[in-house]
Amino acid sequence: MSFLTRIGAWRTRTKVIGALALLLILGGAYAYWRSHQTTYQFVTVARGALTERVDLTGSVAPVGTVSLAFQNSGTIARVDKQVGDTVSEGTLIASLDTRTLQTQLAGAQADVDAAQARLAALKASATPATVAVSQTALDTAKRTLAGNYTNGVSAIIDSYAKSNDAVRTKLNIFFTNPETSNPSLVFISSESGASRNAEDERAQLNTLFSTWQSEIASLSASSPRGTVDTALAHASDNLAAIAHFLNDLNTATINAVSFQAGSTLTTETAKATVTASVSELNTAIANVIAAQNAIATQASVVAQDQAQLSKTTEPATSEDIAAQQAAIDAAQAKADAIRVQISQASLRAPIAGTVSVQGAKVGQTVAANQPVATVFSSDALEVDVSLPEVDLGKVKTGDDVEITFDAFPGETFTGTVFSIDPAETVTSGVVGYTTKVHFAKADPRVKSGLTANLSIVAAKKDAVLYLPQYAILQTDAGSFVETLNGSTVVQTPVTTGIRDDNGNVEVLSGATEGEQVLNIGLKSGA
């Protein structure tokens, strides 16, 4: 092969190699470009119906539940109904011993009769008979006053005994060295101020009881009335001081943190013991006040009768007659008040239902307004649930509710939101609003206490535009959808509305039906 031929062949090979190299470079560049192209998925803005729900868990409770308490303190004489008993409105559940009240009523009615007799004497001309009536009324009033003073002495002695029992017998176990000038509580309380006060006051009570006991030792039914009046006043002051001590001890007790080793007290027994002492002291206070009032009232009656006797021979004026009529009215009002107390000694069911709590026991002493029984309306039930504050703006009264129970799988009950408490309830630091749901139809199988699963239809809209949640971009600046303009991604702000259980979100503005937006969430199959 000649030299020129070889040169030509070499040039031909060089061109082929160059062409192949160029093809390889172009092919690699194209492959690189293809591998870096962005692939988009799209979601179509659709129109349809959306239902927003709030799912909660609550419990079935009676619509009507009433805690019952006596309006006055006393001793329970009988218990007529027990837990589980069915009662109708007005059924007697328990009652207090009214023998003392009945005695007081008899005395009050006697005062009414005496006042009416005095009025009759005023209106009649003075005769030996009318003078005798006035004298008899005065003598009766004086005897009653003497009896009141005797009762006052008894009330003083009894108040000392009750106070001594309440403080020393019941509460000495709360202290070390209780009968010294330096008693100390056997527990530590978070209310340190109340603890210190209780200890100081307990030391002072030793002197109080000693002085009080000496005063009582010289007191008897024959003591001068001025002495009895003074002793009643001292008893009232002593009881007030003891009440202050019990108040501080109660505050310290309910905030007890720990008890000394060897103490027989527990938090519950300590609270119960203080409550019993307070009840006993309240009885003593009530007795002393009653004795003072009885003496003051009867002393006024004696003064009136004395004045009436001196006026018996004089013609009665219209003012005298009016005053006596007022006295009759006052005596009648007192008798009526006692009758009311007697009627309040009977605890009756205010609604028809079932007794769910019965704490009353015959012989038990109860304080005024101390709950002893509970009646719930067993025929009318509702579902009580705590509505979280995040859902408060979604739910309103009248919303439909679907209700299911684990006890009845596969069945759905219906109801409506009846009320939402305007005040919050904080449970374990979580704010909620008590919401009540009424059943659309009663079902005898549903019982109080069942756990209920609620699905509240908070909002329902038809023919609205919507997108799945994953197609909406949410930032601090707001909500957006992304669309493709050529090869450029464009963000468009949208206004959203309700959300349903399937993750669809209502689009109020910013998108049109049928519009293709980018699937920014890249949900498969979208």
Q: What is the DSSP letter of 78?
A: E
Q: What is the DSSP letter of 190?
A: S
DSSP reduced 3-state for 2: coil
CA pair distance 7, 2, nearest whole angstrom: 9
User: Are residues 340 and 82 in contact, defined by beta-carbon separation less than 8 angstroms?
Assistant: no
Give CA angle at 226 (220, 229), nearest 5°. Answer: 80
The b/e string for 166-197 (b: 16+ C-beta within 10 A; e otherwise) is bbeeebeebbeebeeeebebbbebebeebbeb
What lies within 8 Å, CB to CB, of 308 at 6+ separation is 118, 121, 122, 134, 137, 138, 324
Domain ranges of the chain: 1-37, 64-96+346-376, 127-313, 381-518
CA pair distance 143, 149, nearest whole angstrom: 10
Successive 10-residue mean pLDDT values, the chain, 526 residues: 55 62 56 56 91 90 81 91 86 92 93 90 71 87 94 95 95 94 94 94 95 94 93 96 96 94 91 95 96 95 88 74 92 94 89 84 90 80 89 88 93 90 87 89 85 90 91 90 88 90 88 89 52
Q: What architecture is domain 381-518?
A: Beta Barrel (2.40)
CA pair distance 524, 526, nearest whole angstrom: 6
Q: Quick one: pLDDT at residue 313?
A: 65
Q: Quick one: pLDDT at residue 32?
A: 47
Give CA angle at 362 (356, 365), nearest 5°. Answer: 95
User: Are residues 521 and 471 in contact, defined by beta-carbon separation less than 8 angstroms?
Assistant: yes
At the topology level, CATH places domain 64-96+346-376 in OB fold (Dihydrolipoamide Acetyltransferase, E2P) (2.40.50)
Q: Read out DSSP for 250-293?
A: HHHHHTEEEE-TT----HHHHHHHHHHHHHHHHHHHHHHHHHHH
What lies within 8 Å, CB to CB, of 461 at 6+ separation is 49, 50, 51, 497, 498, 506
Instruction: Provide, for the chain, the percentages of residues in helix, strand and coil under a 3-state DSSP scheme, each rounded to the nearest 5.
Output: 45, 30, 25
